Structure 1
Amino acid sequence: MSKPQIDMRYADARTQDCITEEQARFFLDNGFLVIKGALQGEELRTVQAEMEKQVAKGVAGVQDDPDYMYGKGGKTGRNVLRRIEYVIDKSDPMKALLGHPFILRSVEKLQGRSFIPTWDSMVLKMPGEGIVVPWHRDAEVPAGCTDPRPIFNVDFYLDPADLATCLWVIPGSNKWSIEACQARIQRDGAERFSTEDAIPVPLEAGDAIFHDITVLHGSPAGDGNPLRRTVYYEFRPGEIEWNYGPHTREYLGLKQQMLLECLDRRAAAPYAQGEEPFVYNPEGDLALGERTKADTFRYPHLAYWRD
């Protein structure tokens, strides 16, 4: 099978206010879009330092905290840190990151004014112990949903990602049927990671990727790989959540208030001074009600899951 040939597109957060129509079309057609320079200068250094604290905590071992997840190291087989959940709750700079104006304007362009933030996590490849991530979709579109707007993750890269650590994608697989995706996943299984129909997406520290939850992606096991930390913020059109879930309608209002609080944190961040802030103005059933104080930034998914 020959390598897919696509005319690569990318956006540049250093020179743009939002993704363009052409870039949006590339994302919708291929299931991913590279964003150059999403994090720069002081913000990049601050976020890197904050997440290094979380890595150190996880490496030291965290007892009875399900937010810190471990797996079998790719080289030694030892138990190594692989994922940390709810990073927004754990760090003020991660709250400010959720208010990133280029990112939110681009999310709004693709999902509409009533989008909400959902998952927030950090996935790691520890030095020399990168764990294979088999081909997968993050999730499927909720059952019964015919809304064509994409559900997607924004992946912020805190470290460079070369061919030993970067994400691989199968362009256009976001348009495949569930059966076609399952057949491709089962062809490799859990251990093999073939890339003949895929392309690598190497990035520099501070770059980001938008990736559709239904695009097939993964990464090989590292062998002598450097540290790779990637922060994932997922966004969903509010109307899809309102009508189809998977979260309850109560969850939507709570996450809206959380986003407003994070926008305030962004406005106060020293590295955000002078930028044009994003204005969150959802509509219809999702229109904002009275502003309330966010008591927490950690809303466990299963506590707000529809039956």
Structure 2
Amino acid sequence: MGTIHVDIPFVDAAAQDCITDEQAQFFLDNGFLVVRNVIVGEELELVQAEMQALYEKGEAGGEGDPDYMYGTGVKSGQPVLRRVEYVIEKSDPMKVLLGHPFILRSVEKLQGSNFIATWDSMVLKAPNEGIIVPWHRDAAVPDGCTDPRPIFNVDFYLDEADLKTCLWVIPGSNKWSKEEAEKRCKEPGFTTEDAIPVPMQPGDVIFHNIEVLHGSPSGDGNPLRRTVYYEFRPGEIEAEFGPHTLEYLSLKQHLLLDCIERRKRAPYAQQGETPFSYKPKGAFAIAAPKQPSQYRYAHEEYWRR
């Protein structure tokens, strides 16, 4: 395999209120899209501080909390924090971030008006202990699903990601068969001949399809890299195939509406931004908003049996 080159479009959230048709097509074709300047100024500082507090809590010994997940450090051989689940429940600025209008308008453009916000997590590489993330897909489109709309993560970068810590992607691998993807993932080592690195700055975002192959090498002298992942799914796909129950979809709709309202009231939200209007249609229409009873709807409590 030879070295590849992909012209990544420049998307600036400070200069536009949604991704363009051309940028959407790049994402559909390649499985990823980089958006610059999504979180800036005071909001970026707040989100960084909130996630730093969660990181420090986990590093101080949160092994007994199932929301804090650990791997083995490449240098120390000791447990090292690698992931924190349900960050929206743990932080008010993360609730406000879910209501970001550029993100939600872009999600709606790609998935339609009935989209559902599902997972919310922070994934990180600890300083000097970066754990390798082998080539993988986050998940698979459900068997039997012919809906072409993508299921994807929105990855908010809170730290610079250079070549030591950044994500690598294989453009177009979101369209590969299961067999092609599994064959590539089984190749030994973290080879990158058919991949490209995606360096990022704090406040930048990557949209990445759950079926695009991606990963990152282990760190050696790497700085801390924190990334918050929000996943979105078209409601029609989720309703027909799961994995969550229909009750979960309704609960998460009201949670999203609450977060949009919180953003309207946040004094640090970017001046001049137009709030997103979440108006699901048909069977997904919302008669009246309800105050969420909680912000942590544990996935395992809403799996379909």
* TM tier, smaller: over 0.9
CA distance in 2, matches of 1:10, 1:58: 35
Query: How far apart, CA to CA, are the structure 2 residues paired with 1:251 and 1:27?
Result: 28
**Who is 2:169 aligned against?**
169
Match of 1:245 in 2: 242
Deviation at 1:284, TM superposition (A): 1.0
Aligned to 2:197: 200
Shift of 1:63: 4.5
Measured after TM superposition, the shift of residue 64 of structure 1 is: 2.4
What code does the residue aligned with 1:127 have? P
Report the Cα offset of residue 185 of structure 1: 0.4
CA deviation string 1:151-205 (max 9, x = no partner) = 00000000000000000000000000001000000113xxx21111100000111
Give the aligned partner of residue 206 of structure 2.
209
Does the 8 Å contact 1:114/1:282 carry over to 2? yes
1:60 maps to a residue whose letter is A
Kept after mapping to 2: 8 A contact 1:4/1:171: no
Match of 1:218 in 2: 215
Aligned to 1:186: 186
Query: Aligned equivalents of 1:48 and 1:183: distance in 2?
Result: 38
2:240 and 2:118 map into 1 onto residues whose CA distance is: 15
Contact map agreement 1:135 1:185 (CA 8 A) in 2: yes
Residue of structure 2 equivalent to 1:119: 119
How do 1:32-71 and structure 2 match up within 5 A?
32-71=32-71
Counterpart mapping for 1:71-90 below 5 A = 71-90=71-90
Please say which of residues 280-289 and 229-238 is displaced more in the overlay. 280-289
Deviation at 1:264, TM superposition (A): 1.2
Decide which moves more: 46-55 or 5-14: 5-14
In terms of mean alpha carbon deviation, does 58-67 or 232-241 score higher?
58-67
8 Å Cα contact 2:171/2:212 also seen in 1: yes
Q: Residue in 2 aligned with 1:233?
A: 230
Matches within 5 A, 1:110-149: 110-149=110-149
| Residues 207-264 of structure 1 deviation map (CA, whole Å, 9 limit, x = unaligned) | 0000000000000000000000000000000011111111111110000000011111
How big is each residue's C-alpha offset from its partner over 1:120-145, in whole Å with a ceiling of 9 and x where there is no partner? 00001000000000000000001211
Corresponding residue of 1:295: 293
Please give the alpha-carbon distance, in whole angstroms, between the structure 2 residues aligned to 1:73 and 1:289: 49
Q: 1:166 to 1:293 in 2, by over 3 A?
A: same
Letter in 2 for 1:232: Y
CA distance, structure 2, for counterparts of residue 247 and residue 84 of structure 1? 20
The secondary structure found in structure 1 opposite 2:187 is helix
Q: Do 2:63 and 2:69's aligned partners in 1 also have CA atoms closer than 8 Å?
A: no
Q: In 2, distance between residues paired with 1:113 and 1:290? A: 17
1:281 is aligned with what amino acid? K
Deviations 1:2-55 (A, max 9, x none): 122222113110101000000000000000000000110000000000101101
Instruction: Tell me whether 1:268 sits opposite 2:265 in the alignment.
Output: yes
Alpha-carbon distance in 1 for matches of 2:141, 2:301: 20
The one-letter code sitting in structure 2 at the alignment partner of 1:297 is: Y
Q: Quick check: 1:99–1:263 contact (8 Å CA) kept in 2?
A: yes
The question of whether the paired residues in 1 share the 8 Å contact of 2:152 and 2:208 is answered with yes
Matched, 1:282 2:290: no
Secondary structure of the residue aligned to 2:256 is: helix
The answer for unaligned runs of 5 or more in structure 2 is none
RMSD: 0.8
Determine the structure 2 residue equivalent to 1:105.
Answer: 105
**Which TM-score applies when normalising by structure 2?**
0.98
Q: State the SS of the aligned residue for 2:124.
A: strand
- How many percent of aligned residue pairs carry the same amino acid? 68
5+ long unaligned stretches in structure 1: none
Q: Secondary structure at the match of 2:11?
A: strand
Measured after TM superposition, the shift of residue 271 of structure 1 is 1.5
Letter aligned with residue 255 of structure 1 = K
Give distance in 1, aligned partners of 2:165 and 2:63.
Answer: 28
Confirm or deny: 8 A CA contact 1:168 1:198 kept in the other structure: yes
Q: Secondary structure at the match of 1:23?
A: helix
What's the offset of the Cα at 1:75? 2.0
